[in-house]
Structure formats: structure tokens, C-alpha cells
Structure 1
Amino acid sequence: MSRNQYTVGLLFLIAGAVILLGKIGFFSFIGTNFWPLFLLIPGILLHVLFFGRLLPPFVLIPGAILTINAFLFFFCIAFGWSNMQYLWPIFIVSAAVGLYEYHLFDTYHPKLPRTLAIIMLLAAASFFVIMLVWGWGMYLIAALFLAVGAWLVVGRKARW
């Protein structure tokens, strides 16, 4: 058997395996559940290249955005996309983390990215609080008021 026949036979075996795996749905499972890797790998790669001193510090901003959003998407794939109605402020947090990384690791420590990161984190936190109060969080606030009121009425000693 010549070397060419061996190579062609190996290519036919690989093509047949790929077609068979495609027909049983292997690649659709991979594509459906592991597509955030296309965000995670470049995000981590940007961090590795920066810390290897191959890229400038501003690449940390898209690196953090890609990495954090990839983990958010993995979470939503695992636990359901309905959670995105509560987790969407993490998109803002990811940009804030990237800006703060840029502030920390740039040699000049620019203040504008830090200020923007703080503003964005406060905005995201306020959105989380608004969502908490808007939905089932009102019951928690009512229970907290009831507990504090009961403690003020019953729990304190009379001072008169």
C-alpha cells in the first residue's frame, strides 16, 4: 500500500466520523452549549498577552468585557436565559471592571477610567437595587420594616 492510499484512507475515515457525529447532533450540542468559549478564549488571551508585556494596557478593557460576559453567558446556558432579566447590569459591570483594570495596570494610572468605572459600578448597583425593590424585594423590605418596628415597640426597655 502506498503512502498516498494511506493518507486518502485516513481522510475518508475522518470525514466519515465528522459526518456521523454531525448526524447524531454532536456539533449542535457543542455549538449550543459552548459558544461562549468564542468570547472567553480571546478575553483570556488579551489578558495573557498584556501580562506577557506584548500588548498595551488598554487591551484589558475588551479583555475584561469578553471574559465576564462569557461567564455570564455560561451561567445563563446552565440555569436558563430567564435569569438575564435580573443579570443584565453585569454587562455594565464588565465594562467597569475593564476600565478599572486599565487604571490599575497602566503605568500612569489615569484617573478618568477609574472615575468612569466607579460611576458605572454605582449605576449597575442602582439598577440591581431597583430590580430588587420592583419585584419580590418589596416583600423583603416590608418584612424588614415589620421586624424593626416590632423591635422598637417590644424589644426596648421603657426609659420613663
Structure 2
Amino acid sequence: MSLHQPTFKGGIPIARNSYSIGILFIGLAVLLLLGKLGFFQVLVSFFWPLVLLVPGLLFHFLYFNRRLPAGVLVPGGILTTYALLFFFCNIFGWSSMSYLWPGFILGPAIGLYELHLFERGSDRGIWIAAMVLGGVSVALFALTILVKLGIYVIALILVIAGLSMIFRKRRLW
């Protein structure tokens, strides 16, 4: 038997089959070692919001390519907003969620506003709901910042008031 002619077993060349299986084993070994080193845990723990972002962007893509109706913009806006919130928390720490929690109200507001914006002849109630939810979200963001950073805001106001009293023109009594 010559070296250039592969032997066959069940119609499959043995040499080519063992070469493919060898590459498969090496690939599996690399994946196992990367998993043991924690590579996938870090990757999954940071990029898990893609599970929300990809469908959200896909809804937008399918709507703008005229494959789905405008109603998909509501879940698309919600999922995209939430994914961005979660990415922000992954980057800057989950303690920032104590400031960002009104974003969970902002998500439906964005989705409803997109529906109103792109649906021809949409009901005015959709716009009203989007504006109410958006207003509540902005008010809660402001309230949260005021409560969390209130002492700094008060100190800043006092400094500005003090500087204005020092540098304003003195009036003669």
C-alpha cells in the first residue's frame, strides 16, 4: 500500500478522518483550557447584556427594512434601553444602579415614543403615554440625584450665594 492512497473504512478515508478529528480535539482542548482559566466567565459576565441588545436592535432593523410592523419598536426600544443600562453598570459598577433605576421607566417611554414617531396615524394616547412615562422617569432621575447628591447641591448653592454676596456691588445705606 502506498502512502498517497488513503485506506477506507466504511467509505470514509481514514487519514482525512483522523486529521479532522485531531483538529477537533485540539480545538476542544483550547476551549477547555480557556474555560478553566475563567476566560468565558469574564466574557459572559461582561457581555451578557447582548442577550437584550441584539433582539432590540433586530426589532429596529426588521421594522426599518419593512419586514415587521411598527409595534415591534416598543419591545425594541425597551430592550435596547435596558441593555444600555446594564452595559453602563457592567463598566462603572452595579452601585450606579442606585442612580439609574428610573431608566426602567424610560425604556417603555422610548419604545412608545418610537411607535408614535414611526407609525402613521398612531393614536394620540400613545404619545401621551410616552410623554407621561418619560416625564415620570426624568422627575425620578432628578429626585434620585437630589437625594443622593443633595448635600453637594446644597453646598454648591451656598458657595454661589456667598460668592455673589462678596462680589456684588455694595449699596450705600
TM-score of the aligned structures, taking structure 1 as reference length:
0.87
The alpha carbon displacement at 1:107 in A equals 1.6
Separation in structure 1 between the aligned mates of residue 116 and residue 77 of structure 2, nearest angstrom: 13
Partner of 1:68: 81
Alignment of 1:45 with 2:20, yes or no, is: no
Alignment of 1:16 with 2:29, yes or no, is: yes
Partner of 1:106: 119
Alignment of 1:35 with 2:48, yes or no, is: yes
Q: In the TM superposition, what whole-angstrom CA distance separates every residue of 1:28-61 from its partner, at most 9, and x where no partner exists?
A: 1111111111111111111000000001101011
Q: In the TM superposition, what whole-angstrom CA distance separates every residue of 1:72-113 from its partner, at most 9, and x where no partner exists?
A: 111111111000001111111111011000001112132111
> How many positions carry a matched residue from both structures?
160
Partner of 2:157: 144
Alignment of 1:92 with 2:117, yes or no, is: no
The alpha carbon displacement at 1:4 in A equals 1.9
Separation in structure 1 between the aligned mates of residue 120 and residue 165 of structure 2, nearest angstrom: 53
Unaligned runs of 5+ in 1: none
The alpha carbon displacement at 1:136 in A equals 2.2
Separation in structure 2 between the aligned mates of residue 139 and residue 23 of structure 1, nearest angstrom: 46
The correspondence for 1:56, drawn from 47, 51, 69, is 69
Which stretch of the first structure deviates more once superposed, 64-73 or 46-55? Answer: 64-73
Unaligned runs of 5+ in 2: 1-5, 7-12
Identify if the C-alpha distance between structure 1 residues 153 and 19 changes in structure 2 by more than 3 Å, giving closer, same or farther.
closer
Checking the alignment, whether the CA contact within 8 Å between 1:132 and 1:138 is kept in structure 2 is no
Aligned CA-pair RMSD = 2.3
The alpha carbon displacement at 1:159 in A equals 10
Partner of 2:9: none
Instruction: Report the 3-state secondary structure (helix = DSSP H, G, I; strand = E; otherwise coil) of the residue aligned with 1:125.
Output: helix
Structure 1 consecutive aligned stretches of length 4 or more whose deviation exceeds 4 Å: 148-154, 156-160
Instruction: Report the 3-state secondary structure (helix = DSSP H, G, I; strand = E; otherwise coil) of the residue aligned with 2:48.
Output: coil
Identify if the C-alpha distance between structure 1 residues 153 and 111 changes in structure 2 by more than 3 Å, giving closer, same or farther.
farther
The correspondence for 2:95, drawn from 61, 82, 90, is 82
Which stretch of the first structure deviates more once superposed, 63-72 or 124-133? Answer: 124-133
